[in-house]
Amino acid sequence: MMKKGKRFEWGYLLLIPGIGYILLFIIMSTYVMIMQSLGYYNYTGESGFSLQFWGEVFDQQFLDSLLYSLKIGIGSSMISIVICYPFVLILQKTKGKRILLSIMKTPMFIPALVGSFLIINIIDYHGIVNELLVFLRIIEEPLRLRNDKYGIGVLMIQVWKNVPFQMLIMSSAIESIRKDVVDAARNLGANIFSIIRHIILPLTLPSALIAVTLVFIGTFNDFAVSNTAGPLYPNSLSSLMLRNANVFGEWNLSACIGTMMMITTILLVSIYTLIAKRLEKLD
Amino acid sequence: MATSVSVNNVVKKFGNVTVLKGISFHIEPGEFVTLLGPSGCGKTTILRIIAGFLDPEEGQVLFNDKVVNNVKPNKRNTAMCFQSYALFPNKTVYENIRFGLRMRKVPSDEQRQRVENAIAMVNLTGLGDRKPYELSGGQQQRVALARAIVVNPDILLFDEPLSNLDAKLRERVRMEIREVQKAMGITTIYVTHDQAEALSISDNVIAMSNGTIVQKASPRAIYDYPSTEFVADHIGAANIIPAEMGSAKGDFVEVNTPIGCLYANNFHHIKDQKIALCIRPEDLHPVLKKERMENMNIITGKIRNAIYMGNQLDLFFLVNDYLIRASVPKDYIIEEGATIDFAIPRDKVLVVGCEK
Ligand SMILES: Nc1ncnc2c1ncn2[C@@H]1O[C@H](COP(=O)(O)OP(=O)(O)OP(=O)(O)O)[C@@H](O)[C@H]1O
Ligand SMILES: [Mg+2]
């Protein structure tokens, strides 16, 4: 028994690479960021506790950016999952599903910036979409999809980029539902809609939550796509943060924005989780 | 209105393996039929074809003489109890059992009543709120059973529904199944490995081997008159003795075997085929005092093992190096090493066909 206890203690050493990494890069850097927002760790000038930056950070520009980022984050994660579900369900029944899936995965391997430019070419003022719509006389004037006020271009790019990612998660979730469970439902008289409603949706909900959350985190905090295809004002919190730090040298303000991004993310992820738990109970 | 089921020449292939090689049988409305056969012979595959989950490559399935090959599984009004249980992992026991009633839009008062009856029938009272992963294997199996029975389908398909229950519970639930089935007149196809179960529960037994049907008969007939060596060997215990057909002698045929020349009953009129003899162990009667015997075969052997089984005594003895088993009433006191004559009624020595 004694021996067993001892070996167990040594075993903890194996955790050092993981825990050390978490401590050093995640907890430390988060700590530094939060402290910076409170006036510590200044690179130049004095360091010391101050609430001045928190007083300054909540201006109109910040609120506009927060709203914009929330819209992009919630919008793209939700639109993606809504598109993703039927896609994956249909794909399950399609011949050559593996090939189709791997083709659809390609956007995941294209860097966000490159993807952004690719899509911009399509939705630009004189891009294919607009030319086609005008040619078909559906619209008189080309639409302004790129750098438009509402960030529709950004949403389109994010959805394009994230649907495949969610499909990856969702198709493995749906595949992991045992076939005879679906058969049992059919056998008891369930049609395809009842099966989706009673079996597939509830069983894939946890995966869907992960898919939505991951996409939300990515798109809420996105920088590259918003900067290339997003509106000139307001822009994402990430750009605001970068501008404050790089252009104005306001590191403490940036830290405040960073902290707010983190808090918002945690808050929203918690809300998602709560909703999902409720939905699960509902069934 | 009970439903008849016909399966006509059904062929099923997985890839290039033919799993069902032209299966045909007919089941009368309200009949209880058991499929019996070794693992992998295609029993589950037949049930899945009848339920509509699998499409046969050839042949037809008919309910009440109507071809249902193109009818979707959810429109066939069959209820299957899966070998793998296939419970809905996200639903409670109660909701699992209620599912079929919900799909059939049964009024909710009636739903509650029927679900509760079903839960009581399979001894799961008090476990209605559990999720499947909170149940033991046998409990899960009973949920699967209740879920199928509760919907009162036209056709019940059971795939080894009691395999995980202990002997007592199995016997009780088996009787309940039979009662419900009879009362409702539901046509039932029941798969089992357990030959005692097959004989005790069914109107007819279908013996399967390797994707074909070997024999369909009543429990009594299939036990007393198996048509092949395979059936004889798989249903009940049997001495199978290789044999060669000799000439007919009255109601019987003369047959040459390693244990001597015997008179046998050629019930199935087998000819031009490799044959064997089937002798049930309980049909060998020890001859303790000389008596006159009519229509008896006599064989003599030296007892190697006498095994007391409680309800009977099992004797193993050699005749010309051929090991024979006899089951005799438990009151006999027979020592190992004794040489004993056994009488076998001629009509109980059955000529059976051999597989190629
Ligand atoms: N989806 C499948 N793909 C390929 N082969 C299959 C498939 N399903 C079953 N088989 C094969 O078909 C044969 C019959 O299978 P089936 O499940 O009907 O056997 P079974 O009689 O029910 O056996 P058991 O008593 O073990 O349940 C087996 O040899 C099995 O390997
Ligand atoms: Mg099976």
pLDDT in the model for residue A101: 78
Please state the separation of Cα B239 from the chain's center in Å: 19
* Residues 6 or more apart in contact with residue A254 via CB below 8 angstroms: A241, A242, A244, A245
Tell whether B92 is within 8 A of chain A (Cβ): no
CA distances from B320 to B257, B281, B295, B300, B333 (A): 10, 18, 23, 10, 24
pLDDT in the model for residue A6: 55
The residue extents of the domains of chain B are: 5-224, 229-353
Ligand 1: does its nearest atom lie under 6 Å from the Cβ of B45?
Answer: yes
The tokens 């001892």 sit on which residue?
A6
CA distance B242 to B259: 10
Which stretch of DSSP H or E encloses residue A81?
Answer: helix A60-93
Q: What is the CATH number of domain A60-237+264-282?
A: 1.10.3720.10
Ligand 1: does its nearest atom lie under 6 Å from the Cβ of B209?
Answer: no
Ligand 1: does its nearest atom lie under 6 Å from the Cβ of B16?
Answer: no
Are A206 and A275 a contacting pair, CB within 8 Å?
Answer: no
CA distance A67 to A71: 6
Please write the tens of the pLDDT for every residue from A4-29: 545 567 777 788 888 888 888 888 88
**B5-224 and B229-353: identical CATH topology:** no
Are A219 and A72 a contacting pair, CB within 8 Å?
Answer: yes
Chain A contact set for B73 (CB, 8 A): 183, 186-187
Ligand 1: does its nearest atom lie under 6 Å from the Cβ of B192?
Answer: no
Q: Closest chain B residue to A186 measured between Cα atoms?
A: B74
DSSP-derived 3-state class of residue A155: helix
- Architecture of the CATH domain B5-224: 3-Layer(aba) Sandwich (3.40)
Ligand 1: does its nearest atom lie under 6 Å from the Cβ of B258?
Answer: no
Q: Closest chain A residue to B155 measured between Cα atoms?
A: A187
Tell whether B27 is within 8 A of chain A (Cβ): no
Tally Cβ neighbours within 10 Å of residue B181.
20
Closest-CA distance, A48 to chain B, in angstroms, reads: 54
CA distance B142 to B238: 33
CA distance B1 to B141: 28
Q: Which of B3, B47, B8 is nearest to B24 (CA)?
A: B8
Residues 176-205 of A with CB under 8 A from B: 178, 180-181, 183-191, 194, 198-199, 202-203
Q: Ligand 1 atom 17: the closest Cα is on which residue?
A: B44
Q: Ligand 1 atom 27: the closest Cα is on which residue?
A: B39
Ligand 1: does its nearest atom lie under 6 Å from the Cβ of B19?
Answer: yes
Q: Closest chain B residue to A195 measured between Cα atoms?
A: B103
Question: Which ligand places an atom closest to the C-alpha of B194?
Answer: 1
Ligand 1: does its nearest atom lie under 6 Å from the Cβ of B90?
Answer: no
Q: Ligand 1 atom 8: the closest Cα is on which residue?
A: B45
The encoded tokens of residue A229 equal 């295809």
Beta bridge partners of B13: B18
CB-based contact B53 A181, cutoff 8 Å: no
Strand order in the sheet with B66-67: B17-27, B5-14, B58-63, B66-67
Residues 71-130 of A with CB under 8 A from B: none
To test the contact with chain B by mutation, choose from A180, A181, A188 the residue with the greatest count of B C-beta atoms within 10 A, namely A188
Which stretch of DSSP H or E encloses residue A265?
Answer: helix A251-282
Question: Which ligand places an atom closest to the C-alpha of B12?
Answer: 1
CA distance B150 to B104: 11
Phi and psi angles of residue B235, each rounded to the nearest 5 degrees, phi first: -115, 105
Gap from CA of B81 to ligand 1 centroid (Å): 16
Tell me the whole-structure pTM to 2 decimals. Answer: 0.81
Q: Ligand 1 atom 3: the closest Cα is on which residue?
A: B14
Kindly state the DSSP code that residue B209 receives in the 8-state scheme.
E
DSSP per-residue string spanning B111-164: HHHHHHHHHHHTT-TT-TT--GGGS-HHHHHHHHHHHHHTT--SEEEEESTTTT
> Average pLDDT of each block of 10 consecutive residues along chain A (283 residues)?
56 80 84 86 77 84 91 93 90 80 79 80 81 84 78 87 89 90 94 92 90 91 85 86 85 89 91 82 66
Ligand 1: does its nearest atom lie under 6 Å from the Cβ of B42?
Answer: yes
Q: At what angle do helices B93-103 and B137-149 cross, to 10 degrees?
A: 20
Phi and psi angles of residue A189, each rounded to the nearest 5 degrees, phi first: 105, 10
To test the contact with chain A by mutation, choose from B50, B83, B90, B151 the residue with the greatest count of A C-beta atoms within 10 A, namely B90
Q: What is B229-353's CATH topology?
A: OB fold (Dihydrolipoamide Acetyltransferase, E2P) (2.40.50)
CB-based contact A189 B90, cutoff 8 Å: no
pLDDT in the model for residue B187: 95
pLDDT in the model for residue A1: 45
What is the β-pairing status of strands B260-264 and B155-159? unpaired
Gap from CA of B211 to ligand 1 centroid (Å): 10
Gap from CA of A209 to ligand 2 centroid (Å): 36
Ligand 1: does its nearest atom lie under 6 Å from the Cβ of B137?
Answer: no
Please write the tens of the pLDDT for every residue from B185-216: 899 999 998 888 899 999 999 999 999 999 99
Closest-CA distance, A3 to chain B, in angstroms, reads: 35
Tell me the pLDDT of chain B (356 aa) as tens digits: 789 999 999 999 999 999 999 999 999 999 999 999 999 999 999 999 999 999 999 999 999 999 999 999 999 999 999 989 999 998 999 999 999 999 999 999 999 999 999 999 888 999 999 999 999 988 999 999 999 999 999 999 999 998 888 888 888 888 888 988 888 889 999 999 888 889 999 999 999 999 999 999 999 999 999 999 999 999 989 999 999 988 888 889 999 999 988 999 989 888 888 899 999 999 999 987 777 677 888 899 899 999 998 889 999 998 988 899 999 998 888 888 888 999 999 999 999 998 75
Are B223 and B348 a contacting pair, CB within 8 Å?
Answer: no
Chain B contact set for A201 (CB, 8 A): none
Q: Ligand 1 atom 26: the closest Cα is on which residue?
A: B39
Ligand 1 atom with the shortest distance to the CA of B37: 21
Are B262 and B349 a contacting pair, CB within 8 Å?
Answer: yes
Amino acid at A88: V
Ligand 1 atom with the shortest distance to the CA of B208: 21
CA distance A247 to B253: 110
Exposure on the CB side of residue B197, measured as CA atoms within 13 A: 26
CB-based contact A189 B104, cutoff 8 Å: yes
